[in-house]
Chain A
Amino acid sequence: MRTDDMIDVLVRDLPNQPKPVSTILLRWWPAAAALTGAGFLALTGVRPDLVTAGLAPTLVKLMLGALIALTAILGALDLSRPEVQASAASKWLLAVVGFLGLVVATDLLRHGLDGWWARLFGKGIVTCLTIVPALAALPLIACLTILRRGATSEPMAAGALAGLASAGLAILAYGLFCNEDSPLFIATWYSLAALIVGLAGAALGRAMLRW
């Protein structure tokens, strides 16, 4: 086939205008997360003391989830452009690291080092590390499927960001249920849960985001 002939074919196909990735992603990805999150909370219910004793720590969890979701999804969208490097797209995640530092510092300033071991290891570790990834699975698949329309030069990094972002949304639902309130617990195990989903996203992205 001659290159000129190919150009003619492509020109005829111009009326099929592809939609920007962000338009589709921002419509379906939150919907997938809302669906699983609402389903989960309908089964388990929110924690009973949500608006009393649980309010302050729950707000910390929601802020952490929202911050991870926002910074990672902006990065993933950025990285769906071929000329964008992974380092530039991930720089917003520093905000998450800063927030985690703040959470840990608050804990240590308030309680000192006494009993930090007990504050770190609550009873909910296994629950946290299984339910957050489970809630993130559907949004992650939706996110990666939509990102296939993009053209990333770094499929693993883009997949990792999609995983982190989906874990962020999962945390929004899980945070309303979880009653482990120590800041040390939240900073450690919520992050680890998000990293697990991030790793899964990287592995899936490597296979799914090639073009």
Chain B
Amino acid sequence: MQEDFHYYATYCAAMLAGYSHEESLDICYSAQFVDLCSRTVLVKLGAPAIAATTQLQLELMDARTDIAGIQDITRIWASFHFLPRDLYANKPKRTKRYLHKYRLICGPNGDLVKKTVELAKNRSLQSAGIAMHVMADTWAHMYFAGTPSLVINDTSGDFTELTGETGEVKITFRHNPSAPDDLENSIYTNSLRQRDENSIMNLGHGRAGHLPDYSFIRYRYMPAWDEYRLTVKDNPSDYYKAFSQMVYAMKYLIGDRADFEIDRYDQDSVSVYEDRIREILGRRRLSASDDWKAFGEELSGETIPDFDLDKYQDEYIQAPSERKDETFIGRFIQGAIAQKTMVSEAIYRSGNLLAGIVQIGGS
């Protein structure tokens, strides 16, 4: 997912859940900041690098893929962008090493989604934003794992876009990261095929390019982990569910609901706008920001400012050490560390060392 959904659509979802304009802005800013809070940014701010929620391309190029490096990568990507659906999933006749990676495959409505939302309850709006990012990505990034793995994240070269009821268009990939995706000719950028199991090229949905990040696209492909079965990814449908689930989750966070249950979606507030939302999701373009922004401004009657990475940085830098936790970024950092710790600990408790040894509180 991109800024259009993490920032503007999250704002819309927060408004529909009952948050005020200002609160919604804080939530959607935090949701989008998850994609930008790299070590590079944190070091510049003098903030703890452990709170990193993403890795920049340049950081990934330098990332080690020995066990410590993989654990570091997995802690970040599995916690914030590829939340595992089932840490105890099984597959017959597979080695433990394979299963450890297989169990990190991302998907919606897993136990960790529930824990993520519950973790954000009674915490800051920044934590709510982080939870909404994580939840939304479980829909966009499903079928990929937040750890480098050829046997899980590789795909067949044959991707087909499904258009209309019966139309099919062959998707072509190239490996030029500076070239924008060409929607007209169905030419997209993806990562290079590397046969090294732990190559960075095999992290997340790199092999499928940005296809999972576009709300309009429906496509068919063959993931490496699914034993020669074809998978259809229906982004417009998945993104609609993601939006409805965000509204449902934020109604829980705001206190309108006593419990958060998985596989539940808000119907009351969202169904009124269903046609509008589906129209925004289904329109074919690289970014749906303008439409989401217009929708959000209609909902609140307020102007939604563009996302500004520098917006809260001075506040954090200038705050004295003992007051940094009270700043916007300070609260974001606390929420990020809590989320990363919760997910990493859950992975460790499942007997999987891919996120390292993390034990908080014991049991």
The answer to whether A binds B is no
- Give chain B's interface residues, CB within 8 Å of chain A: none
